């Protein structure tokens, strides 16, 4: 799969099952994450892999965090904890901010770009992914401890990894009219909409025009 096809066909998985990523695939995915744009090469991010039985450890931490809120119904607590075991593996993305002249917002943007690279690398390897979070609980003491967050670090979220379940189609993504979201600055200072459609000559192969399959037989994401 070429780079443009990977970008154009990645989708968020709707249900992830085994097989999950191998150790070798995880190394490739994490290496891709480290290539995110990074002003002054601060490395303002780090990653925590959770898979196998360790998912239950994370689920316990989330459940404890939810119970500590004190007002959440038990079904809500169970659902929140269940997010840790929805996929064969996940990679947590931590915004590990560095003391620098580079603004915190720019460092956090680098961490978000690293998360996107994880999704794209997984897709290129034939895996499926979904970028998720646990609302209200990301900054809890229990979840912070599970990921070893230091003062000043924030959990961006995590990327679930696995194989898209058979019979569960990937969601479609209608093309966004470019003239609605993009403009070009003209010499006279006005902003003019860009071309509304992607040119036909864009070098994305016909085979990559839509996400493929639902199992390891082809790239999904």
Q: Which residues are annotated as a binding site?
A: 10-12, 39, 131-133
Alpha-carbon torsion angle 208, 210, 213, 215, nearest 10 = 70
Question: Annotated binding site for FMN: which residue ranges?
Answer: 10-12, 39, 131-133
**Three-class SS state of 92:** strand
Tell me the C-alpha distance between 63 and 17, whole Å: 22
- The closest of 124, 43, 138 to 92, measured between CA atoms, is 138
SS3 179: helix
Q: How far, in Å, CA of 69 to CA of 135, rounded? A: 12
The answer to whether 86 touches 159, Cβ cutoff 8 Å, is no
What pairing do the DSSP bridges indicate for beta strands 191-193 and 89-96? unpaired
Phi/psi of residue 47, nearest 5 degrees: -135, 145
The Cα 96–Cα 127 span in angstroms is 27
Burial state string for 106-116 with b = 16 or more CB within 10 A and e = fewer than 16 = ebbbbbbbbbb
């Amino acid at each position: 799969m070429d780079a443009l096809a990977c970008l154009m066909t990645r989708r968020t998985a709707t249900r992830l099952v085994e097989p999950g990523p191998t150790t070798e695939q995880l190394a490739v995915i994490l290496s891709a994450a480290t290539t995110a744009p990074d002003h002054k090469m601060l490395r303002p991010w780090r990653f925590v892999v959770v898979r196998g039985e360790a998912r239950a450890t994370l689920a316990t931490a989330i459940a404890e965090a939810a119970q500590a809120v004190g007002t959440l119904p038990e079904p809500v607590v169970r659902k929140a904890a269940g997010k840790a075991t929805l996929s064969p593996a996940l990679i947590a993305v931590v915004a590990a901010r560095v003391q620098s002249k580079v603004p915190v917002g720019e460092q956090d943007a680098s961490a978000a770009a690293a998360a996107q690279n994880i999704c794209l690398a997984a897709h290129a390897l034939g895996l499926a992914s979904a970028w998720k979070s646990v609302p209200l609980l990301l900054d809890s003491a229990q979840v912070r401890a599970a990921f070893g967050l230091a003062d000043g670090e924030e959990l961006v979220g995590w990327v679930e990894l696995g194989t898209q379940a058979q019979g569960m189609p990937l969601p479609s993504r209608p093309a966004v009219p470019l003239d609605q979201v993009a403009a070009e600055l003209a010499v006279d200072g006005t902003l003019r909409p860009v071309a509304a459609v992607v040119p036909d000559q864009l070098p994305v192969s016909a085979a990559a025009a839509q996400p493929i399959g639902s199992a390891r037989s082809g790239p999904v994401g």
